[in-house]
Amino acid sequence: MQQLGFDEIKGLFDSYVIGNYGRMPVAFVRGEGSYIWDSEGNRYVDLMPGWGTSLLGHCHPKVVTALQRQASMLIHVDNTFYIPPQGLLARKISERSFGGKCFLCNSGAEAVEAALKLARIHKEVEGRYKVITMRSSFHGRTMGAISATGQDAYHRGVPHVPGFSYVPFNDLEAVKQAADDETCAVMLEPVQGEGGINLATEEFVTGLRSFCDENGILLIADEVQTGMGRTGHWFAYQHYGVEPDMMTLAKALGSGVAIGAMVAKAEVAESLVPGTHASTFGGNPLACSAALATFQVIEQEDLIEVCRRTSEHIFGRLNQMVKKYSIVKEARGRGVMCGIELNRPGAPVFQYCLDNRVRLNCTHETVVRILPAMNVPRQALDEGLDVLDEALAKAQAGEI
């Protein structure tokens, strides 16, 4: 492909790409591990690789090799036939989670849609269709997923899919109040990501499990952002000692290749009979081979253990920042899913970091979020955190 300079790239976007994203004036063209290079040759430390997708860093060589091998053999075949890598991947996901069955798709929103649809189909005979989700949640941008998302800002101008209600996160009493005989499911993120890195409490998750069991309600864990070891367990629900009935995955599952999965306990999964749901690209050989390679690398390189050690280092540094700067209220997170909450908008901190070649994120207005690769080298991590520290010093001094 032709090498384009930034002005040419921006010109293409101005003329031909719909402006639904607020884009920063940078075009990244190459990545390796926790570093990424822009079209002008500048190198950045990437503490948010692929918006949470590239949990092994950019272009992990084993994922690249698996993709090359599969691409040269068969890129796509449809679900009219059996697809070997899809079967192998489904087994891997099942074995590492709660022994369910998988429906493969292409994104987080699609996985969420599949979970919502299956919950409703499964509970249709009981006349149940309502779903309870959490305030500050985020479940994706398609019509069902956005209706499930408990943030008013995302609902503007979009008529809702009926049947959703929202309760405050970590408020079991509110769930009990909101539930009735028509409730089929409760869905939550064990750690809310876009909502500002909020951790579900042990009491809430175990209480929810018991409440759902007692009332014939399905419990869905949206692990699109928390899955694949990012929190220090394969899946974040595993921190709580209880299992959901369904789980959604995407983001890190394919190390940056588009893939999603909806996993359901076998007795629930049975309701998705032929003709009820489908996806042309879902579970294609290329994406599944990337996901299989992702599992293999995490296992062979013991990355969940590495993630736990990296997490200790990150939170050591973030907690120092909490002590050092009064504008930082708190450091929160699990594993390498981390955020600091400021007492003011985080946009200037984000901008300062980007200007100084460190890529992170600001979410929910005041939360500076980092989702680094599990295998981020200590040097790259510290380089990035040094710049964050500098940005906070400047923000505290009113210089940015």
| Interface ranges with ligand PLP (CB under 6 A) | 107-109, 112, 138-140, 189, 193-194, 222, 224-225, 250
CB of 287 to ligand PLP, least distance (A): 13
Distance between CA atoms of residues 364 and 27, nearest Å: 24
DSSP-derived pairing of the beta strands 218-222 and 183-188: parallel
Bridge partners, residue 334, by sequence: 337
Closer residue to ligand PLP in complex, CB, 196/377: 196
DSSP state of 262: E
Closer residue to ligand PLP in complex, CB, 224/242: 224
Helices (H), ranges, the chain:
6-16, 61-73, 84-96, 108-123, 143-148, 172-178, 202-215, 266-269, 285-300, 303-324, 347-355, 378-396
CB of 196 to ligand PLP, least distance (A): 12
Closer residue to ligand PLP in complex, CB, 225/294: 225
Closer residue to ligand PLP in complex, CB, 108/384: 108
CA dist 307 → 10, 230, 311, 350 (Å): 37, 7, 6, 24
Residue nearest to ligand PLP (CB): 108
CB of 141 to ligand PLP, least distance (A): 6
Q: Under DSSP, is residue 286 helix (H, G, I), strand (E, B) or coil?
A: helix
Closer residue to ligand PLP in complex, CB, 130/139: 139
Nearest Cα residue to 105 out of 262, 278, 260: 260
- ∠ CA 71-75-76, rounded to 5°: 170
CB of 288 to ligand PLP, least distance (A): 17
CB of 191 to ligand PLP, least distance (A): 9
Closer residue to ligand PLP in complex, CB, 140/244: 140
Closer residue to ligand PLP in complex, CB, 188/385: 188
- Residue 84 host element (H or E): helix 84-96
Q: In sequence order, which residues have a C-beta less than 8 Å from that of residue 49 and are 6 or more positions away?
A: 31, 34, 36, 55, 57, 58, 256, 371, 372, 373
CB of 116 to ligand PLP, least distance (A): 12
Closer residue to ligand PLP in complex, CB, 39/192: 192
CB of 345 to ligand PLP, least distance (A): 21
- Determine contact, residues 104/261, Cβ cutoff 8 Å: yes
- Determine contact, residues 256/53, Cβ cutoff 8 Å: yes
CB of 192 to ligand PLP, least distance (A): 8
AA identity, residue 231 = T
